Amino acid sequence: MGIFDKFHIQNRKDQFPRRIKELKQATPIAGEVKVPDFIEHVTEQLRNEIDIDPDVYVKNNVKRGLRNANGTGVVVGLTRVGSAVGYKLGENGEKIIQEGKLYYRGYDIEDLVRGVIKDNRRGFEEITYLLLSGTLPTESELNKFKDMLAAKRQLPNRIIKDILMTTPPRDLMTKLAINVLQLYTYDKQADDVSIENVVRQSVDIIGYFPALMAYAYQMKCAYYDNKGLMLHYPIPEFGAAENILRLIRTSGEYTDIEATILDLCLILHAEHGGGNNSTFTTHLVSSTATDTYSAIAASIGSLKGPKHGGANIKVIDMIADLKRNVRDITNEKQIKKYITDVLKGKANDGSGLVYGVGHAIYTLSDPRAKLLKEMARKLAESKNKLDEFHIYEVIEENTQSLYEKVHGRNVVMSANVDLYSGFVYKALDIPNELATPIFATARVSGWCAHRLEELAFNKKIIRPAYKNIKPKEEYIPMMER
């Protein structure tokens, strides 16, 4: 069955509960050391601070959020790895919207995906090769690269024991960051930032990542959810998508279309230009010449943030709320009423946001959403979920017009990749807490490519500036305070 018999992990009625008890007893309780007076003092100080007037930012030419006044990103570097395009700038700097495009190493993502689909094969490993090397592999080159990854699919037993079974995870993204940092300990060349060594480290991390993620999830289920622990062996010759499904499911089974669409999700999430927060974090941290594990762990921490990597979970939660509040999910009029209530802040989380629609860069269309929607429909057909799939279509087709009715202004917006990835993850029975870790499993390929680029070409520490607007103060002796 692929169980790690060495650790005698069979079921909750056997040896595992004793180990869980030991871990719980050894786990410190957060907040045991209390400094209430200091915490109250700092909190009160911040509450009493007056917000900085927006005009002060303009006066000092500060680009808040590294955004220009027209919403475009401040250009802070050059890259050859990837680019996301949703508009172009006119002669006067105005944004001219256009159909969305995504390029990996200059190749249109639509061409890459359709090439994989036409050949009826998995493509994530090929895309990883492209991102790291800058070239599309021949069949022979790809097979050799897959062999390199295959050698890293199975975590060494010492890593399983030392990393996964000693620090039970509550939050999987935090656990992933910890696991990556702990890999540093097992690397005799951990601090070597030569390009050759960083390429080797990148392949190691990318190969290990599905197992690091899946085993962390299984440990979380056993420790916090009181479920049995079932650790399957990865199959080295299988790709990331197949192994993810195998490792997170008790049965270890999956269908061809399930593996195909998860592979597509990994391809579409692998890269999105150098300016997204987690990839910029890779550049920022790598510019200090620190080790690979620190840079990737920092990027995981960035992706964990709900304003960045957690959007697909927001879609899943919104659909769950819709189902609770819409009597007939096949009734388009009732769904549109729900969307209207969401936009008015009367439904879901009260934010007024329809998750899965709109994007910081893409305007008329998100190429990832278009590609994923095609395959998601096939998945819906195979699982008899077309009624549920129709909910997502209604959201995509009506949110812009309903937004105009509610807010009185026309804002161009389209479905983004999170809308249909939310459907896919739910249809694949992927638990919510794994949505962002799967995103990380895909994006680590892009992060590693950008890290290599930063080390090879930029060679200058990234050092932006903050202007201090606090007035100077006269020192007060201790007895006079």
pLDDT, one tens digit per residue, over 400-445 is 999 999 999 999 999 999 999 999 999 999 999 999 999 999 999 9
Q: What is the pLDDT of residue 10?
A: 38
DSSP labels, 25-40 = HHSPPTT-S--HHHHH
Q: What is the pLDDT of residue 73?
A: 85
DSSP H stretches of helix in 151-276: 157-159, 172-183, 195-224, 240-248, 256-269
Amino acid letter, residue 362: Y
Q: What is the pLDDT of residue 13?
A: 40
| Beta carbons of 309 and 436 less than 8 angstroms apart | yes
Q: Which of 359, 366, 390, 450 is catalytic?
A: 359
The string of pLDDT tens digits covering residues 60-83 is 888 888 888 877 888 999 999 999
SS3 state at 380 = helix
Element of type H or E holding 21: helix 16-26
Task: Identify the CA nearest to 422 among candidates 368, 384, 466.
Answer: 368
Q: What is the pLDDT of residue 28?
A: 54
10 Å CB burial of residue 36 (0-12, 13-18, 19+) is: exposed
Q: Which are the contacts of 149, defined by CB distance < 8 A and separation ≥ 6?
A: 125, 128, 203, 206, 207
| Beta carbons of 216 and 179 less than 8 angstroms apart | yes
Task: Decide if 418 is catalytic.
Answer: yes
Rg (CA), the chain: 24
Q: What is the pLDDT of residue 256?
A: 96
Q: What is the pLDDT of residue 334?
A: 97
Q: What is the pLDDT of residue 299?
A: 98
Q: Which are the contacts of 184, defined by CB distance < 8 A and separation ≥ 6?
A: 190, 291, 293, 294
Q: What is the pLDDT of residue 14?
A: 46
| Beta carbons of 154 and 247 less than 8 angstroms apart | no
The string of pLDDT tens digits covering residues 178-214 is 999 999 999 999 999 999 999 999 999 999 999 999 9
Burial 263-289 (b: 16+ CB within 10 A, else e): bbbbbbbbbbbbbbbbbbbbbbbbbee
Q: How far apart are CA 316 and CA 431, in angstroms?
A: 10
**Residues of the chain predicted below pLDDT 50:** 1-16
Amino acid letter, residue 296: I
Q: What is the pLDDT of residue 441?
A: 98
Q: Which are the contacts of 231, defined by CB distance < 8 A and separation ≥ 6?
A: 2, 3, 4, 9, 160, 215, 218, 247
Element of type H or E holding 83: strand 82-89
Task: Decide if 359 is catalytic.
Answer: yes
Element of type H or E holding 335: helix 332-343
| Beta carbons of 107 and 130 less than 8 angstroms apart | yes
Q: Which of 272, 291, 418, 450 is catalytic?
A: 418
